[in-house]
Amino acid sequence: MFPAKHYPFKKLHGAGNDFIIMHAPVEPLTNKFIEMLCHRNFGIGADGLILISKGEKVDFKMDYYNADGYGGSMCGNGGRAAAVFAFLELNAKKNMQFEAIDGLHQAEIIQALEGSFDVKISMNDITDFDLNEDRLIVNTGSPHYVKRCDNLAGLDLINTATPIRYDKNISEEGVNVNFMERTNGEIYLRTYEKGVENETLACGTGATAAAIAAALWYDIPTAKIHSKGGDLEVNFKREGQKFTDVWLRGPVQFVFEGSVNLDQKQSFAAF
């Protein structure tokens, strides 16, 4: 039993993109409280929070919140981690369906071994994007800007990405910014995530956007995306400018579990 106001959670990461995952509490959490939970000094620490609840005619429903406490978009690695949570906590089968803000997704636990998982989820079809010779703007469940880069390792990502992230000519709500480099036929990616307002070790919707960019620029039929936190694989069927049957695959790791005080009357100096 957990103490009063304490609530169980699991911490998981998908290629270094880390999440706090728990059953959705009865009392809604405020944006500031979610921000505190995700804070790496004052809270548990994570790129985002995922709340799991029952869905209609699906195995579960996921609500995703960025580290700033706000939702509004799909998280690809979060969806893969949520599938593992459902497998562990809800006795979901290895093949399952879940609902997210952008609609329904299929998920498959391909391998489960002592806290390490190989997981893939379906992503939405992609038929609408803005492409030129060195950048792609596309929504893969979350809005992304992908730009070609010749020196990814030496890139000052934060200072280079920040003006693009807030450019209202690209998106009124802001955009995730990705820099992609092709070296010896391999695709390398770094992502600045809005809502986290920092570089993340991997980004699932960003990897999906990069795979679409690689297909359009280099005619690559399937892509392994190398990120700082690990590799993600994106597969799809392509017919001209239309991408269907899109799947995102990669590792998910259980990190730890515990309980957290959900008393939102707590006061923290930084919040």
Mean pLDDT of 188-216: 98
Q: What is the mean pLDDT of residues 162-176?
A: 96
Beta bridge partners of 182: 187
Torsion angle of alpha carbons 37, 43, 48, 49, nearest 10°? Answer: -40
Q: Is the sign of the CA dihedral 144, 148, 149, 152 positive or negative? A: positive
Q: Where are the beta strands (DSSP E) in the chain?
A: 6-14, 17-23, 48-53, 60-66, 95-100, 103-113, 116-123, 129-131, 135-139, 143-148, 176-183, 186-193, 198-200, 223-227, 230-239, 242-261
Domains defined for the chain, CATH in brackets = 6-123+253-261 (3.10.310.10), 129-246 (3.10.310.10)
Residue 196 pLDDT exceeds 70: yes
Q: What is the pLDDT of residue 6?
A: 83
Are 19 and 12 a contacting pair, CB within 8 Å? yes
pLDDT over 60 at 224, yes or no: yes
Told to judge if 203 belongs to the known catalytic residues of this protein, a careful annotator would answer yes
pLDDT value, residue 266: 63
pLDDT of 270 higher than 60: no
Q: Is 91 left (phi over 0), alpha (psi -120 to 50) or beta?
A: left
Give the largest Cα separation in the chain, rounded: 58
- pLDDT band at 1; cut points 50, 70, 90: very low
The pair of structure tokens assigned to 89 is 């906590």
- Given the residues 62, 203, 223, 252, the one annotated as active site: 203
**Active-site entry in 29, 36, 75, 88:** 75
